[in-house]
């Protein structure tokens, strides 16, 4: 965009002015920090994935397929609001996949439900890039507004997950 010039060779945009006034830098730094914190948390050296697997094994090992999908969806929905949504997906999908296969559930069902649930990270700036953008621009919304409206959105997502689990399981059955 900054390379565009008019007929006389004069640039349409001043790049330094764009950087100074056109980019909301606090939001950019907040998103960058959240992404790198998520990468650090999910790295192999932390042992986080192994800990999560050990904690949730007793809950998920012998559950009903519907309850299994409901539990993993709600766990992902809660986790994504305290961790990054990318980190939550990276943690929950590899943990849930073997449980789904062991229960005879097509792994596509819980994975799709997890992906949907992790897109609803709205409570904290680290939850998702969308949340970081909301918190980064205080001229539109206050933190209180974000928490109130985000909570309503999260409850609506939980209800949508509840309604979608059974049809998804019927649609994607294993042979």
pTM of the complete model: 0.64
What is d(CA 78, CA 155) in angstroms, rounded to the nearest whole number?
11
The DSSP secondary-structure symbol of 44 reads G
Q: What is the pLDDT of residues 62-109, one digit of tens each?
A: 778 888 888 888 889 899 888 878 778 877 887 788 778 877 888 888
Distance of CA 27 to the CA centre of its chain: 17
What is d(CA 98, CA 109) in angstroms, rounded to the nearest whole number?
13
Q: What is the pLDDT of residues 102-150, one digit of tens each?
A: 778 888 888 989 998 888 888 888 788 788 888 887 788 888 888 888 8
């Amino acid at each position: 965009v900054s390379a565009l010039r008019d007929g006389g060779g004069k640039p349409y945009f001043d790049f330094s002015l764009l950087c100074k006034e056109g980019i909301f830098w606090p939001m950019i730094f907040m998103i960058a920090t959240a992404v790198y914190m998520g990468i650090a948390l999910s790295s192999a050296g932390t042992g986080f994935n192994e800990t999560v697997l050990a904690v949730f094994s007793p809950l998920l090992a012998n559950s009903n397929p519907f309850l299994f999908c409901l539990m993993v969806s709600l766990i992902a929905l809660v986790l994504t609001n305290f961790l990054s949504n990318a980190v939550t997906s990276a943690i929950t999908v590899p943990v849930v996949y073997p449980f789904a296969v062991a229960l005879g559930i097509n792994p596509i069902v819980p994975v799709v439900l997890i992906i949907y649930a992790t897109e609803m990270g709205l409570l904290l700036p680290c939850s998702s890039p969308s949340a970081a953008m909301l918190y980064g621009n205080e001229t539109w919304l206050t933190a209180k507004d974000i928490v109130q409206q985000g909570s309503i959105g999260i409850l609506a997502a939980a209800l949508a997950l509840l309604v979608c689990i059974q049809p998804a399981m019927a649609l994607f059955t294993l042979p």
